[in-house]
Amino acid sequence: MLDKKGFDLWADGYDADVGLSDQDNTYPFAGYREVLGTVFRIVMEKEHADVLDIGFGTGTLTKKLYEYGCTVYGQDFSSRMIELASREMPGAHLFQGDFTRGLSEPLRHHTYDFIVATYSLHHLTDGQKVTFLISLLDRLKEDGKILIGDVAFRTRDELEKCRRSAGDEWDDEEYYFVADELKRAFPALSFTRISFCAGVLSLAR
């Protein structure tokens, strides 16, 4: 797993690296643009939404939400990612913090229409995901939603098929979503498959 310095060093080339994988329809970012587009369209169903973006990176999705009138809050591990995103979103409320330890303290005092996380929560183990999502549900407004776009599969068999196909490219230090397994803790969870290795998970309060 990349540490904070690793994410800082990757920040400037991150969008280009992701774009190449998406364009070539390869693991791990096949479907990346459609994943972000799907999350964006759901958020846009509510005018002037309050949105918390966890692990927002350079702000590819968050900048669009900001431009379209959302009040944006965010947390990211990398100070460099925050620096890059802040240039594009001077009015956003962005905080540095390791979400494996929960939300940054200032973000715990707000509630949100949407909490979004794209290609970030796979750094949490399956158990940590459940604990973190439970805490996030408490930060939603009435009728709020958690939207997760990530490397994700409906079943464990689909994940294993992708693992075999990816071969040496597979990252054993990341923990990808398996919707059917996560539903054991969150029966109301919904999953939309985007590509062979990506999907959007939605969880309402």
pLDDT at 129: 98
Q: What is the mean pLDDT of residues 105-118?
A: 97
Domains of the chain: 4-204 (3.40.50.150)
Nearest to 171 by CA among 117, 123, 118, 99: 123
Alpha-helical segments (H) within 89-172: 126-137, 156-166
Q: Which residue has the tokens 């809050």?
A: 73
Identify the pLDDT of residue 1: 41
Phi, psi angle pair for 176, to nearest 5°? -85, 155
Give the pLDDT band (50/70/90) at residue 60: confident
pLDDT band, residue 138 (cuts 50/70/90): very high
Whether the predicted pLDDT of 18 surpasses 80: no
Range in 56-60, 68-72, 112-116 the model is least confident about: 56-60
Report d(CA 1, CA 9) in Å as an integer: 14
pLDDT at 40 over 70: yes
Q: Please give the helix or strand (H or E) that residue 80 lies within, else none.
A: helix 79-88
pLDDT at residue 10 greater than cutoff 70: no
* 147 band by pLDDT with thresholds 50, 70 and 90: very high
Percent of the chain at pLDDT > 70 equals 89
- Total-model pTM: 0.90
For 36-56, what is the mean pLDDT?
95
CB atoms within 10 A of CB 78: 25
CB 58 within 8 A of CB 52: no
> pLDDT value at position 52?
98
Sign of CA dihedral 148, 152, 153, 156: negative
